[in-house]
Structure 1
Amino acid sequence: MCKNKFSFSMWIKYLEKLKKKNQINLIDIKHIARKLNLLNLKSFFFTVGGTNGKGTTCAMLEKLLLDSGYQVGLYTSPHLLNFVERVKINGLYVTEMQYVFAFLNIHSAKLNYSLSYFEFITLAALFLFKQYSLDIIILEVGLGGRLDATNIIDSDLSVITNIGIDHTSILGVNRFNIAREKAGIFRKNKISVIGEKDIPDSIYQEAKTTKTILKIINKDWYWEKYNNTWNLIHSKIALYNLPIPKIPLPNAAIALSALFYSDLDINKKKLRHAIAKIQLPGRFQTISCFPHIIVDVAHNAHAALYLSKKIDQMDIQGNIYAIFGVLKDKDISSIVAPLRNKISYWYTSTLSVDRSASLDQLKSNLPIQKTFFFNSISNAWNNLKKILNKKDIVLVFGSFITVSEFISIKQKK
């Protein structure tokens, strides 16, 4: 069937089958982007990288910029429930028909060039942005930075939220190498705001090579939390008694810092109200109160440790159950470790994707005496809900896919 007769769902199936034929580089995607005139958009670009917290940092940037009157485009990944979540124009998702139009144009321009799934949809996002007169475009890095598809854009300001161990088969096995990959988004004479406190030397080396201006936490800016408020002390502004956000404070702080280093005019009156309202689905999100069901997309050691600290802050009166699913390329033991002694029982399952961890992998990394194994998130939930009482806590985590499958099950019910 001709591609111009494809429906949105047919396009998604087509894209999911795309495989990169040659060595990973940005040559092909840059050529196509240049052909479509996507490299010279007149917007101010933020590029947000890091191991964790990219999505919430982008959400904070988007909200504060919209409240200040800017026309804003946002590109994030992965999506939680629906592909259309990946692109927003002025706070709203674009339609499936708009995506189809973008896909057709990318496919027509690519000819015999090889593109991966993420490269194709990144070009589609930029094509969608081009259809609007946007003041600001926010790009969330998909993986790493240096070879990520978003890196075809020379951003005006970059952000690195933190640097943890993840995607070691692609980015490297230690923080030095991972940080070097993430520093690939640095640009000459442009500012990069760094939220990592323990900065690997490779960050400084790459900044020196590229002549990037680093703005580092606890050196150029810092935040401090009190009981019910927090302060942001910045080389350009000091904000006191800010409301505690629903997103992690480090992400809120780095987003604010990046905004003020951008020299964009920010509405400080609306800022305080916006901070308290921002929340991203799937990030320590409560979807039921009795029992208390929390979904979180934590999928690496750094995120699991944050999740563990959030659990410590809760008033726990019943058991804590985990519905856990994870991908096979993750360091499963490091994800489980912070929560091993806090979870009463684990209801763990394989996921409905090829990249799912196997039952053998799960069995070798979870406490056997406290774990029940299933072949679907649905079966795990159906068995768990039979024994729950109103004071229990259910924590659903391990992957975006785990959370997505669980929320879909709950919505159908």
Structure 2
Amino acid sequence: MRFTQLDDWLTWLEQAHPTEIDLGLDRLRQVLARLVLPDLPPVITVAGTNGKGSCVSAASALLQAAGFCVGSYTSPHIQHYCERVQINAVPVREAAMCRAFDIVDQARGDVSLTYFEFGTLAALVLFGQQAVDVMVLEVGLGGRLDAVNIIDPDVAVITSIAIDHEAWLGNDRESIGREKAGIMRAGKTAICVDTDPPASLLQYADDIGASLRLIGRDFVIDTAPSENNPIPDKTPWRLIDNHSGVALSVPPVSLVSSSVAAAIQAVKALGVDVAALDLADVFGGLTLPGRMQNARFGGTPVLIDVAHNPAATTYLAQVVAARQTSGRVVAAVAMMADKDIAGSLQPLMGLVDCWLPVGLADVPRAASPESLAAVISASGANVTPFASLADALSGLNTGEHLSLGEDDLLLVFGSFFTVAAALAILAPDVTRVSSAGSLGEIK
């Protein structure tokens, strides 16, 4: 084995390939053909700009409740790499991950793989070893040329299509929609819960003969948010099949409702009788770390979220507005320099009273706090940059720059790195690594 410790593997993987992203499936096909894997179980593959994690989590929970052993693969992780590969919602052990990396390393020969490609193949190895009944796989970037698309899905899900990753996917929704549509397969079920799917996606589904089910056409979410509960995701709702007229009652879910609807449709497509499941039990405690996560900073409520593109921050702005904070909203943000920073921050400009742009010193792609501050200042907002989130929180804690109270809201958002830093400080026990090298349960 090249390494026996996971950290050593990950350090090596970060520099093992010339580029971080190298879209294409040819190299993967070569290595996959050399891996001795059992016959694949049914597969749900999830693509989309936002909402993929909610869909994977909901689908996995439904399948597990139906009695299946479920292998789920997501990315990126927040606090520990093993979060990416889970069996029945429990991350695999570090030792198992190291052995899977070694199997992939031996099989690849002289074929160079990216960090993500290596991890994807390792996940397939682990799922094969555990003989899972179903795999739920999250696309890393795009769809058509993403490593996950090396596996033919039985059900393809596309949660949303928005502008992101333009350098690889194109700078308009038609181009991006075509890339995400690439996970569809001829004669197989495809589900899209974007309310305005690009023509390119619809055309591709028609061209290959995929069985496409669309939100708004084939099924709808029927919900009536109350005056005191204006966020649809926090209220009970019904999922109505427009063809049969059958309505499924869904309890309040702490995930994106359209993604949950997509998960229900996907699981039904695999033959699961979702109506026979206790959905209150399935969804009752289902949450995702770093997605609309609540914490405390002293006596001040904190909202933490991974929103880092305009579509995600628009939804975040709706959530912040619905909270009707009586005091001030203070936002700490860190983002990657290649993102649409101005477009991502704009939806929150009218809601945030004070901005604290922070740096991510160990992340080369991160925008500097000064560059973030320049974008924010252009709108006339109150802004104070900090070298790190820890520095910003320290300043708040001492009251040197700003004092927070119980009526205020501290909003921390941006990249997964931002959220990881926030959770490490504000909620350090959210994910705990035991001395045995396995992740404990999400608390």
**Structure 1 residues 345-354 or 22-31, which shifts more?**
22-31
2:420 matched to which residue of 1?
404
Q: How big is the shift at 1:237?
A: 7.0
Q: Does 1:51 align with 2:49?
A: yes
Q: Write out per-residue CA displacement over residues 104-134 of structure 1, whole angstroms, 9 at most, x where no aligned residue.
A: 1111111110111100000000010010221
Q: What does 1:123-202 correspond to in 2, within 5 Å?
A: 123-202=121-200
Q: Structure 2 residue aligned with 1:62, among 45, 60, 63? A: 60
Q: Does 1:343 align with 2:373?
A: no
**Structure 1 residues 10-19 or 47-56, which shifts more?**
10-19
- Contact 1:84–1:95, Cα closer than 8 Å, also in 2: yes
- Contact 1:68–1:267, Cα closer than 8 Å, also in 2: no
Query: Aligned-pair RMSD on alpha carbons?
Result: 1.8
CA distance in 1, matches of 2:273, 2:87: 20
Q: What does 1:288-327 correspond to in 2, within 5 Å?
A: 288=296, 290-327=299-336
Note closer, same or farther for the CA distance 1:343–1:256 as it changes in structure 2 (3 Å cut): same
CA distance in 1, matches of 2:7, 2:394: 29
Tell me the secondary structure at the aligned position of residue 397 of structure 1: strand
1:355 matched to which residue of 2?
365
Q: List gaps (5 residues or longer) in structure 2.
A: 227-234, 430-443
Tell me the secondary structure at the aligned position of residue 309 of structure 1: helix
Note closer, same or farther for the CA distance 1:240–1:110 as it changes in structure 2 (3 Å cut): closer
Q: Write out per-residue CA displacement over residues 43-98 of structure 1, whole angstroms, 9 at most, x where no aligned residue.
A: 11000000000001100001111111111000000001110100001221110000
AA matched with 1:211:
G
Tell me the secondary structure at the aligned position of residue 68 of structure 2: coil
Tell me the secondary structure at the aligned position of residue 4 of structure 1: coil
AA matched with 1:231:
R
Tell me the secondary structure at the aligned position of residue 373 of structure 1: coil
- Contact 2:326–2:408, Cα closer than 8 Å, also in 1: yes
Q: Does 1:37 align with 2:36?
A: yes
1:268 matched to which residue of 2?
276
2:108 matched to which residue of 1?
110
1:233 matched to which residue of 2?
240
2:375 matched to which residue of 1?
365
Q: How big is the shift at 1:364?
A: 3.0
Q: How big is the shift at 1:243?
A: 1.4
Q: Does 1:379 align with 2:391?
A: yes
Q: How big is the shift at 1:153?
A: 0.2
Q: Write out per-residue CA displacement over residues 341-395 of structure 1, whole angstroms, 9 at most, x where no aligned residue.
A: 1001011112130010124431331136511111111111111232111211001
- Contact 2:52–2:138, Cα closer than 8 Å, also in 1: yes
Tell me the secondary structure at the aligned position of residue 193 of structure 1: strand
- Contact 2:41–2:132, Cα closer than 8 Å, also in 1: yes
- Contact 1:18–1:115, Cα closer than 8 Å, also in 2: yes
CA distance in 2, matches of 1:358, 1:130: 43
Tell me the secondary structure at the aligned position of residue 212 of structure 2: strand
CA distance in 1, matches of 2:123, 2:291: 24
CA distance in 2, matches of 1:210, 1:37: 30
Tell me the secondary structure at the aligned position of residue 374 of structure 1: coil
Q: Does 1:277 align with 2:285?
A: yes
CA distance in 1, matches of 2:428, 2:188: 48
**Structure 1 residues 214-223 or 244-253, which shifts more?**
244-253
CA distance in 1, matches of 2:372, 2:59: 37
- Contact 1:231–1:238, Cα closer than 8 Å, also in 2: no
**Structure 1 residues 261-270 or 202-211, which shifts more?**
261-270
Q: List gaps (5 residues or longer) in structure 1.
A: none
Residues matched between the structures, number: 410
CA distance in 2, matches of 1:136, 1:303: 29
Q: Write out per-residue CA displacement over residues 166-186 of structure 1, whole angstroms, 9 at most, x where no aligned residue.
A: 001110000000001101101
CA distance in 2, matches of 1:412, 1:354: 24
Normalised by the length of structure 2, the TM-score is 0.89
Q: How big is the shift at 1:262?
A: 2.6
Tell me the secondary structure at the aligned position of residue 177 of structure 1: helix
**Structure 1 residues 219-228 or 391-400, which shifts more?**
219-228
CA distance in 1, matches of 2:181, 2:353: 40
Q: Structure 1 residue aligned with 2:258, among 230, 240, 250? A: 250
CA distance in 1, matches of 2:311, 2:36: 38
Note closer, same or farther for the CA distance 1:213–1:142 as it changes in structure 2 (3 Å cut): same
Q: Structure 2 residue aligned with 1:95, among 78, 93, 96? A: 93
1:28 matched to which residue of 2?
27
Q: How big is the shift at 1:253?
A: 1.5
Q: How big is the shift at 1:213?
A: 1.3
Tell me the secondary structure at the aligned position of residue 13 of structure 1: helix
Q: How big is the shift at 1:223?
A: 0.6
Tell me the secondary structure at the aligned position of residue 306 of structure 2: coil
- Contact 2:373–2:384, Cα closer than 8 Å, also in 1: no
CA distance in 2, matches of 1:220, 1:15: 43
Q: Write out per-residue CA displacement over residues 234-277 of structure 1, whole angstroms, 9 at most, x where no aligned residue.
A: 24673344212111211111211222223234462322322232
AA matched with 1:81:
Q
Note closer, same or farther for the CA distance 1:237–1:132 as it changes in structure 2 (3 Å cut): farther
CA distance in 1, matches of 2:277, 2:210: 32
1:220 matched to which residue of 2?
218
Tell me the secondary structure at the aligned position of residue 277 of structure 1: coil
